[in-house]
Chains A and B, each alone.
Chain A
Amino acid sequence: MTSTDLTTLNSARDRLTSDGSVLRLSETEAEQKSGYQAPTEEGLGERMIMNMGPQHPSTHGVLRLVLEMDGETITRSKPVIGYLHTGMEKTGEELTYLQGATNVTRMDYAAPLFNELVFSLAVEELLGIEVPDRGQWIRMLMSELNRMSSHLLFMATNGMDLGAVGMMLYGWREREEVLRFFEAVTGLRMNHNYIRPGGVAADLPGGWDEELSAILDIIPDRLAEFDLLMTGQPIWRDRLQGVGVITAEEALSLGATGPILRSTGYAWDLRRDQPYLKYDQVEFDVIAGSFGDCFDRYSIRLAEIRESMRIVRQIIEKMPEGDYRVQDKKVTPPPRARIDESMEALIHHFKIFTEGFKVPEGEVYVAVESPRGELGCYIVSDGSSKPFRMHIRGPSFVNLQTLPHLMKDSFLADTVAIISSVDPIMGEIDR
């Protein structure tokens, strides 16, 4: 299903804006009201304002929740963020377009290549250049592998949050296989700065396809073990099924994208619905759930790992020969070998890395489907070599708004399952 109608949508929206599931308290108010609240004359029962996080093992970093409890039940809640705010959008205005990728890659640290990709796509759109085919296919290969590693990390943390402690190790072990490949290609396990405006930093190393095929042979068996350990387990199902339910209309109204929106049965995936790179040339299924609960969000991510492997296999077969970056002298530095023999190449190299390249005036918004949903980048250029404004639409930042609605009337013990199923990455939320 990818359709709904306006009437259902409007009623969902009106429910969301009026049901009061968001606890809108200022910092000082929350402090004054924290702890036990005796029943008031206004008809409220006894209430307790509780603070969860920012230092809490299951808040995925530094997410803080202020919860209003009625006994064990959550009546209202509010996520409090900003503990990891480092002003990356402001920093982005001080860095050249070439340095920009190093900055954005640190936002969603579980899916760094997507940040680089969306930033590079936006810059290329402003420049009006097109990356050669091989560059595009390499980008697609790397982002699909990154989707796998990100979802494998989710498997690990989600398992541990719910008490399947062994999963932490298994998830990390499988993710490490992918990260090892990243290290071979980019030199780093994370924060690669590999996808850059104009293409990618380096070509794939020799024997990459065999190395990759070896990984693709290992992981399916391991995923079958995940199924054995979690999917089929009655305890696992009891903890997740029917917990944190959201409808498609609510998700649309709250701006939720990615596995949260798809878990409701609404199959919306930018890779298929607004194709970028070469996604129109590979075959894959968009996985959608049916109940919109934590279990659907878990199984969608598990299935998406398998879909990503299917895409990666096709990419290995179809990888074209050619250049991995655009040969536009304004954007691309000369090859390393040329620098040793040519003074002009040295100057050219120096100019690009110190001054950077100039980008024509204009503004552009580009979006890709990251493992967490729509990752967007809005850049305003004033014609200089640094962005005038660089804004990242972090999927986690927007998805976080679903939390109070998912948690309303659920038990405190379920908050852990619900937070985990939203898969927030604080680096991206706070930026």
Chain B
Amino acid sequence: MSDAETPSIEDAELAEESEEEVLEEELPQPELLHGVPVSESRGQVVLHPSREEYVALVSSLRELGYWMCIDLCGVDYLGYGPNRNLPEGVAPERFEVVVGLISHTDRSRIRLRVQVPESDPQLATLFQIHPSVENPEREVFDMFGIRFDGHPDMTRILMPDEWVGHPLRKDYELGRIPVQFKGASTAR
């Protein structure tokens, strides 16, 4: 038997020690970044502010170099399984507004996921901090029915003004809506 095949006692001790270290690291601890719970998704940093913290967080991130709000979209989690990849202390709600920020000082990205409850689908607008969200917020309102408080023009953007319902909601019926044309007396 060669030395390589029989692990020495020292090696075993070392292995035990490192296992203990790993276990300690894996203990659930509410991890915080910029004062809010943080998680990781495929190597991308995701922050989970509450609705109350949301605007203040985006504002302070802007001070830190996140000058550009690159994207804002909504997600309807109706019917999604239990594994939402949310950190401890963040209660899942039906809707989520996802905001992508980009830092021009260190060229990094950060994502915010804000939980928005079905019973009260509204959120404060980012318009005063990032005017770039004007169209995206209108789109989220149009597609999901989430209102943005303080938005200067909270109207539908893609669908006609008189449209009923919010198409990207998961419970929006597909294929059974008569085609709506303005001024047409009957549905075709």
B30 at the interface (CB under 8 A from A): no
Are B42 and A125 closer than 8 Å at their CB atoms? yes
> Which of the 9-residue segments B9-17, B18-26, B49-57, B157-165 touches chain A?
B157-165
Interface of A is mostly: mixed
Which residue of the partner chain, among B63, B68, B85, B111, contacts A252 with CB atoms under 8 Å? B68
What are the residues of chain A within 8 A of B62 when measuring CB–CB?
Answer: 6
Which residue of the partner chain, among A94, A252, A391, contacts B104 with CB atoms under 8 Å? A252
Knowing A255-B69, A388-B80, say if A2 contacts B131 (CB, 8 Å): no
B183 at the interface (CB under 8 A from A): no
Most chain A CB within 10 A, of B63, B76, B153, is at B153
Are A365 and B75 closer than 8 Å at their CB atoms? no
Most chain A CB within 10 A, of B70, B73, B130, B131, is at B131
Which residue of the partner chain, among B41, B134, B161, contacts A401 with CB atoms under 8 Å? B134
What are the residues of chain A within 8 A of B73 when measuring CB–CB?
Answer: 378, 391, 393
Chain A: residues with Cβ within 8 Å of the partner, total of: 54
Are A27 and B161 closer than 8 Å at their CB atoms? yes
Which residue of the partner chain, among A27, A89, A253, contacts B132 with CB atoms under 8 Å? A253
Which residue of the partner chain, among A6, A17, A274, A361, contacts B131 with CB atoms under 8 Å? A17
**How many Å lie between the Cα of A266 and that of B46 in the bound state?**
27
Are A376 and B135 closer than 8 Å at their CB atoms? no
**For residue B128, which residue of chain A has the nearest CB?**
A17
Per the 8 Å Cβ criterion, residues 51-99 of B in contact with A are 62-63, 67-71, 73, 75-76, 80-81, 83, 85, 98
**How many Å lie between the Cα of A256 and that of B152 in the bound state?**
20
Which residue of the partner chain, among A128, A362, A365, contacts B85 with CB atoms under 8 Å? A362
Are B135 and A401 closer than 8 Å at their CB atoms? yes
Are B71 and A82 closer than 8 Å at their CB atoms? no
Which residue of the partner chain, among B75, B104, B133, contacts A268 with CB atoms under 8 Å? B104
Are B127 and A398 closer than 8 Å at their CB atoms? no
* Shortest Cβ distance from residue B129 to the other chain A in the assembled complex, whole angstroms: 8
B100 at the interface (CB under 8 A from A): yes
A342 at the interface (CB under 8 A from B): no
**For residue A85, which residue of chain B has the nearest CB?**
B158
Most chain A CB within 10 A, of B73, B107, B133, is at B73
Are A376 and B100 closer than 8 Å at their CB atoms? yes
Q: List 10 A-B pairs, minimum CB-CB distance, nearest first.
A: A255-B132, A82-B158, A24-B153, A85-B158, A391-B73, A393-B71, A27-B161, A389-B75, A364-B42, A16-B131
Query: Other than the known A361-B83, A401-B132, what 16 A-B pairs have Cβ atoms closer than 8 Å?
Result: A3-B105, A6-B67, A22-B153, A27-B161, A87-B167, A90-B167, A125-B42, A252-B67, A253-B132, A363-B46, A365-B44, A365-B109, A367-B70, A383-B81, A389-B168, A401-B135
Q: Which residue numbers of B lie inside 8 Å of A, CB to CB? A: 41-42, 44, 46, 62-63, 67-71, 73, 75-76, 80-81, 83, 85, 98, 100, 104-105, 107, 109, 111, 127-136, 139, 143, 152-153, 155-161, 167-168, 174
